[in-house]
């Protein structure tokens, strides 16, 4: 029996890392809408041709096309279950996904939300830097070089920061995330499917908490 989940979390919560681990360790398959649209375009399937036409006109791909794509992928995937990322923005989309799964004798077993503390996330992200020479990662307060201003690994003296790693960007993304998930979280709350995991914990601990959710008896069927 397949285990199907939705994995939610704001940028910086480590969602990508956790999804990748679930693929590698549990044989699940991540169904990311962005990736599905790109590969459909390239593959030139009937759905893909429609995707291309819509995107070339600069329009948004409709829910109907996205549903058709998800259906195709659900029929093909050989994994132990699907991980849906946060493409769901509206209740009708959530209901459409439910029907797609039901038609295949499947259902969403868990909605896992990686919860972050916004201020701590700002600190975590804005403090990031890396060695300009070897790329070794550092952090102003959490992991600074042993000798101030000198890379532990290669002795480099220059460090760089990503332009996106600033407070305004982080706060804007958090606001966007809340806005996006606001309509769908209550839908799944009402079904008793939402599990919250502290995304501020070290990666391995977050992984262990997710595992304990997945190893629990499924919600239905």
Q: Write out the residues near Zn ion by the rule CB under 5 A.
A: 131, 133-134, 136, 151, 153-154, 156
57 is catalytic: no
**Coil, helix or strand at residue 28:** coil
Residue 15 falls in the annotated catalytic set? yes
Q: Closer to Zn ion at the Cβ: 54 or 136?
A: 136
Q: How far is the CB of 154 from Zn ion (least distance, A)?
A: 3
**Nearer Cβ to Zn ion, position 7 or 151?**
151
Catalytic residue of the set 25, 104, 162, 178? 162
Q: Give me the least distance between CB of 133 and Zn ion, in Å please.
A: 5
- For residue 150, the 8-state DSSP code is B
Q: How far is the CB of 157 from Zn ion (least distance, A)?
A: 9
Residue 30 burial (CB count, 10 A)? 17
Q: CA–CA separation, 221 vs 210, rounded Å?
A: 20
Please, which residue, 32 or 144, has the CB nearer to Zn ion? 144
Sheet containing strand 4-8, edge to edge, reads: 29-31, 82-84, 4-8, 108-115, 194-198
Is position 162 annotated as part of the catalytic site?
yes
Cα–Cα separations (whole angstroms), residue 94 to 6, 77, 110, 116, 122: 10, 20, 13, 23, 30
In the complex, the smallest distance separating the C-beta of residue 21 from Zn ion, rounded to whole angstroms, is 27
Rounded-to-integer distance, Cα 210 and Cα 17, Å: 12
Catalytic entry in 52, 133, 161, 173: 173
185 Cβ neighbours under 8 A, 6+ residues apart: 8, 111, 113, 194
Cβ proximity to Zn ion, 155 vs 186, nearer residue: 155
Sign of the alpha-carbon torsion through 205, 211, 217, 221: positive
Catalytic residue list contains 25: no
Q: Which residues are known catalytic residues? A: 15, 89, 128, 162, 173
């Amino acid at each position: 029996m397949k285990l199907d989940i939705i994995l939610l979390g704001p940028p910086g919560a480590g969602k990508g890392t956790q999804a990748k681990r679930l693929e590698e360790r549990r044989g699940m398959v991540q169904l990311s809408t962005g990736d599905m649209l790109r590969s459909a375009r390239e593959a030139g399937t009937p759905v893909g041709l429609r995707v291309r036409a819509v995107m070339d006109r600069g329009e948004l791909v409709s829910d109907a096309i996205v549903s058709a794509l998800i259906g195709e992928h659900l029929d093909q995937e050989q994994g132990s279950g699907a991980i849906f990322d946060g493409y769901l923005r509206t209740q009708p989309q959530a209901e459409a996904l439910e029907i797609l799964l039901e038609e295949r004798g499947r259902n969403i077993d868990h909605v896992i939300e990686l919860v972050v503390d916004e201020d701590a996330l700002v600190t975590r992200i804005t403090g990031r830097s890396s060695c300009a020479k070897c790329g070794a990662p550092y952090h102003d307060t959490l992991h600074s070089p042993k000798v101030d201003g000198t890379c532990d690994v290669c002795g480099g003296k220059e460090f760089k920061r990503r332009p996106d790693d600033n407070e305004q960007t982080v706060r804007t993304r958090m606001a966007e995330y809340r806005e996006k998930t606001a309509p769908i979280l209550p839908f799944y709350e009402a079904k008793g499917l939402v599990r919250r995991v502290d995304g501020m914990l070290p990666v391995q601990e977050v992984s262990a908490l997710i595992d304990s959710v997945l190893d629990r008896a499924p919600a239905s069927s």
